[in-house]
Amino acid sequence: MSPNLYACVHAAEFATQALLRLNTQLVSQPVAILDGRPPLQTVCSLNRHARLKGVSLGMTRLEAESIPDLQLLPRSPETEAAARTVLHECAAHFSPRIQAASQGTSAACVLDITGTERLFGPPQTLAERLRTAFDNVGLRASIAISSNFHTARIKATSSRGIVIIPNGHEAQALSKLPLSALDLPTDPAETLAIWGIRTLGELAALSESELIARLGPQAVIWRNLASGILTHTFQPIEAEFSLKEFCDFDTPIENQDSLLFIGARMIDCLAARASTRALSLASLKIEMQLEGSQNYQRTIRPAIPTIDCKFLLKLLQLEIAAHPPQAAVLSLTLTAQAGQSSKVQLGLFAPQTPEPSRLDVTIARLKAIAGEDRVGSPVLEDSHRPGSFRMQPFSVPTQTSKAPAALTESPHPRVALRRMRPPVPVRVQLNAQQPVAFRSTEQAFRVSAAYGPWKTSGNWWSTDGWNSEEWDVLAENSNGNSAACLLVHNCTINQWQLEAYYD
């Protein structure tokens, strides 16, 4: 074997494959992709079913519309870019050295698989595993393996399936390919056609000196390509890992079920791509382009990173149902943030804990009923205002918090403050600016001791300012029962409330 070994992956009609990868309901139908500005649109890519219908590349839109049952879709560069990223990610599982080799409406890349026999087996086994991996992500590709970079690229472009070229048989493998496989300029191609040169084998058999004399120094490169001996300097790309799926709809979508059908396929692809790197989906950003140049953005954050597609689809459904788009959807983009999956070691006799997905679905349903700002975890605000807090999204703590030692080891009794939610309005009797008695709607109290007032105020410059006085009182009701209470006087509206009891 040669010290160098290359595998070329070629996905023909990539513009069509990129659109059908997510629109699986169109896979069994004839589909053609239109490119250009209306009304001068022409067919730039098509699938096998459309070719059997008589569709050909370069056919005008008017000609294509005359063919029955043909699905015409506009070309989407964003969808192709997302699918090309998937292509490179899938290839990166077999080799870190990848060079892009795409041309026209096809997508191709060449992998340097030198020395990978111990990981993936012989070239035939590697090629089969490589093709299976592309089938799993919805892409059909032909694969050629050779010790020469250009031979692998040309053979993969001109053939279907898997081709393994032994070392030293490059010229024989290319000899029967048509001259168009080299993609020569127009003038040299016409000259060779006049000479009767139709295949690469006939070009390789010509004299090198005679070619240079008639076609110039560039002819040496063409002859070496046809002979499978042209050297190449490998230029690997460094693709950035990003979990993003894009789908551009040919007609605006107003039905939520149709939108979720596409979203389910996109979530499956994102989860599969994350799982190949032992990652999970920590968040899911939803972006939609709506009619009227409107944008729609929402973010789903599960409590624990997961790759459960049914669970993520349910969260997507609840999020769209709670915040429906205000217009028809033109395109959908799902961008995921990768995260590490949490693992919990259960005890032998410990009870089974509820699944985290149930908690997320419950929280999503509560938000749809009660509102976004009323569900989550309360967090104290950095303010002197009594009882001031805000709600933040619920998240599972990574570590179990422990109570301070001063609270667990202190032998002294502690006093608990039991808040009244909501506070109870009371009528207070004052003597020398101190409360001596107060009455609620249920019972009356006589104050035996009062401590205060403790005054607090703030935000005097805005409408949500406060100005209050707090009193700690010992009181006794008509039955002789004593109680320790917290009375608050709202000085702004001159209102007294029973805020809490001391237990």
Q: Is the dihedral of CA 83, 86, 91, 97 positive or negative?
A: positive
- Beta strands 6-11 and 42-46, pairing class: unpaired
CATH number of 250-270+281-339: 3.30.1490.100
Amino acid at 297: Q
Tell me the C-alpha distance between 473 and 101, whole Å: 83
Tell me the C-alpha distance between 167 and 421, whole Å: 82
Query: Which residues are bridge partners to 158 per DSSP?
Result: none
Amino acid at 491: C
Q: Would the CATH topology of 6-170 be identical to that of 250-270+281-339?
A: no
Tokens (6 digits) for 459 = 């935000």
Per-position DSSP letters for 132-148, written without gaps between them = HHHHHTT---EEEEESS
Alpha helices (H) in 165-306, listed in sequence order: 170-174, 186-195, 200-204, 208-215, 218-227, 256-275
Question: Which secondary structure element, helix H or strand E, spans residue 339, and what is its range?
Answer: strand 329-339
Query: Which residues are bridge partners to 468 per DSSP?
Result: 456, 490
Question: Which secondary structure element, helix H or strand E, spans residue 420, and what is its range?
Answer: strand 417-431
- Residue 338 · residue 299 · CB < 8 Å: no
- Collapse the DSSP code of 79 into the 3-class scheme (helix H, G, I; strand E, B; otherwise coil) and give the result: helix
- Residue 97 · residue 112 · CB < 8 Å: yes
Query: Which residues are bridge partners to 285 per DSSP?
Result: 299, 335
- Collapse the DSSP code of 104 into the 3-class scheme (helix H, G, I; strand E, B; otherwise coil) and give the result: coil
Instruction: Report the 10 Å Cβ neighbour count for 60.
Output: 15
Question: Which secondary structure element, helix H or strand E, spans residue 409, and what is its range?
Answer: helix 405-409
- Residue 230 · residue 150 · CB < 8 Å: yes
Question: Which secondary structure element, helix H or strand E, spans residue 149, and what is its range?
Answer: helix 149-158
Question: pTM score > 0.75 for this model?
Answer: no
- Beta strands 98-100 and 71-74, pairing class: unpaired
Q: Kindly report whether the peptide bond that precedes residue 422 is cis, defined as omega within 30 degrees of 0.
A: yes
Mean pLDDT of the chain: 87
- pLDDT confidence of residue 471: 92
* φ and ψ at residue 295, rounded to 5 degrees: -120, 145
- Residue 52 · residue 67 · CB < 8 Å: no
- Collapse the DSSP code of 35 into the 3-class scheme (helix H, G, I; strand E, B; otherwise coil) and give the result: strand
Give the residue ranges of the chain where pLDDT is below 50: 1
pLDDT per residue over 73-109, tens digit each? 999 899 999 899 999 989 998 998 999 998 888 899 9
- pLDDT confidence of residue 1: 43
- pLDDT confidence of residue 153: 94
Alpha helices (H) in 11-147, listed in sequence order: 14-20, 48-52, 61-65, 77-92, 117-120, 123-136
Tell me the C-alpha distance between 33 and 245, whole Å: 20
Tell me the C-alpha distance between 103 and 84, whole Å: 12
Instruction: Report the 10 Å Cβ neighbour count for 375.
Output: 18
**Domain spans of the chain?**
6-170, 250-270+281-339, 415-502
Query: Which residues are bridge partners to 485 per DSSP?
Result: 473, 501
CATH of 6-170, one of 3.30.70.270, 3.90.1280.10, 3.40.50.12280, 3.30.1330.40: 3.30.70.270
Query: Which residues are bridge partners to 490 per DSSP?
Result: 468, 495
Torsion angle, alpha carbons of 388, 391, 392, 393, to 10: 160
- pLDDT confidence of residue 405: 54
- pLDDT confidence of residue 486: 92
